[in-house]
């Protein structure tokens, strides 16, 4: 009897590892091994354009990432931060209305939010290239009202790149904030009003703090892919608005300089990790009870 109990206890202790095994194997095969391969490539050197890079502990690839492409790194994170801020300003009121005022139309409104995902990312970006073109209606309207000069343009500017990033990643901000707001018990707001709190104070003290997990998640879902994006910078910007994603794409697919491209990717991941950890410490990641 005791042996059977000991056996059952051992099986119970090992059960979590059996449950974790598929996920761990997946991470090893499709995350850690590719990461190891990327790191080995980043420390390799290229003898000629078409030769296989040789592993040689070439740390200079990382130095070149900062010395040669510092502007692209700074531009990428600046554009991503602006796109994240704009997405938050647009998404929060929209998610608030859907969550608290949507009523029986909530599903329809959420469907409209994700409708752009039914179209390919590249096609959506090319559509914005047409919309913001010099002969487009948007530029014509801005020229008519005096916001642009007769030779003014929107395409191939930082404004176009940030606008494209905001548009393409906006749903990633709306949905997490909506989920966080949907979980809030409306009776808490009623209780705040019963305690002589006005609408703005109730929002500031009750609703917004409880929605911070959604804001945190949405900000990461927008900032990280926006910082690494190269499609918007390529089609909506110019040589002076190129981002680090454009450089990595060029080094991998055009220049075939795999060590430099891998080093740039590693540096980018490291900077993003530091930003995410700092942001998590400031805003927090746990649900507020």
Distance CA 93, CA 174 (A): 9
Distance CA 238, CA 236 (A): 7
| 67-283: CATH, from 1.20.950.20, 3.40.50.2300, 3.40.50.300, 1.10.3720.10 | 1.10.3720.10
What pLDDT is attached to residue 207?
Answer: 87
Closest CA to 261 of 80, 16, 97, 39: 39
Residue 156 contacts residue 142 (beta carbons within 8 Å): no
Closest CA to 271 of 33, 74, 32, 27: 74
pLDDT single digits (tens) 135-191: 878 888 888 888 788 778 888 899 999 999 999 999 999 999 999 999 888 778 778
What pLDDT is attached to residue 286?
Answer: 54
Q: What is the mean pLDDT of residues 36-47?
A: 87
Distance CA 57, CA 159 (A): 41
Distance CA 289, CA 287 (A): 6
Distance CA 265, CA 61 (A): 11
pLDDT single digits (tens) 52-92: 788 888 888 888 877 888 899 999 999 999 999 999 999 99
Which two structure tokens, joined as six digits, stand for 191? 């209780």
| Chain position carrying tokens 């990312």 | 121
Q: What is the mean pLDDT of residues 44-49?
A: 78
Instruction: Report in angstroms the alpha-carbon separations of 24 from 11, 19, 32.
Output: 19, 9, 10
Averaged pLDDT of the chain: 86
The model's pTM = 0.86
Q: In this model, does residue 98 exceed pLDDT 60?
A: yes
Question: Given pLDDT bands bounded at 50, 70 and 90, which one contains residue 95?
Answer: very high
Find the helix or strand (DSSP H, E) in which 285 lies.
Answer: none
Q: In this model, does residue 280 exceed pLDDT 90?
A: no
């Amino acid at each position: 009897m005791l042996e059977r109990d000991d056996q059952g206890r051992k099986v119970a202790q090992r059960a979590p590892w059996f449950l974790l095994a598929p996920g761990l194997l997946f991470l090893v095969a499709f995350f850690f091994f590719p990461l190891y391969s990327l790191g080995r490539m980043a420390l390799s050197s290229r003898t000629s354009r078409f030769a296989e890079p040789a592993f040689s502990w070439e740390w200079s690839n990382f130095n070149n990432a900062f010395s040669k492409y510092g502007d692209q790194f700074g531009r990428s994170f600046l554009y991503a931060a602006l796109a994240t801020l704009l997405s938050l300003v647009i998404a929060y009121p929209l998610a608030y209305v859907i969550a608290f005022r949507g009523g029986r139309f909530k599903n329809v409104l959420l469907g409209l939010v994700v409708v752009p995902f039914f179209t390919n990312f590249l096609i959506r970006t090319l559509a914005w290239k047409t919309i913001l073109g010099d002969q487009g209606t948007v530029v014509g309207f801005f020229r008519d009202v005096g916001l642009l000069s007769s030779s003014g343009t929107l395409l191939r500017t930082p404004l176009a790149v940030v606008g494209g990033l905001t548009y393409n990643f906006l749903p990633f901000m709306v949905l997490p904030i909506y989920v966080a707001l949907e979980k809030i018990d409306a009776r808490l707001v009623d209780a705040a009003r019963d305690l002589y709190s006005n609408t703005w104070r109730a929002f500031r003290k009750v609703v917004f703090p409880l929605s911070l997990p959604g804001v945190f998640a949405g900000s990461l879902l927008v900032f990280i892919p926006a910082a690494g994006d190269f499609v918007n910078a390529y089609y909506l910007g110019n040589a002076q608005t190129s981002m680090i994603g454009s450089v990595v794409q060029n080094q991998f697919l055009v220049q075939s300089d795999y060590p430099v491209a891998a080093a740039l990717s590693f540096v980018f991941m490291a900077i993003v990790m530091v930003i995410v950890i700092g942001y998590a410490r400031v805003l927090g990641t746990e649900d507020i009870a």
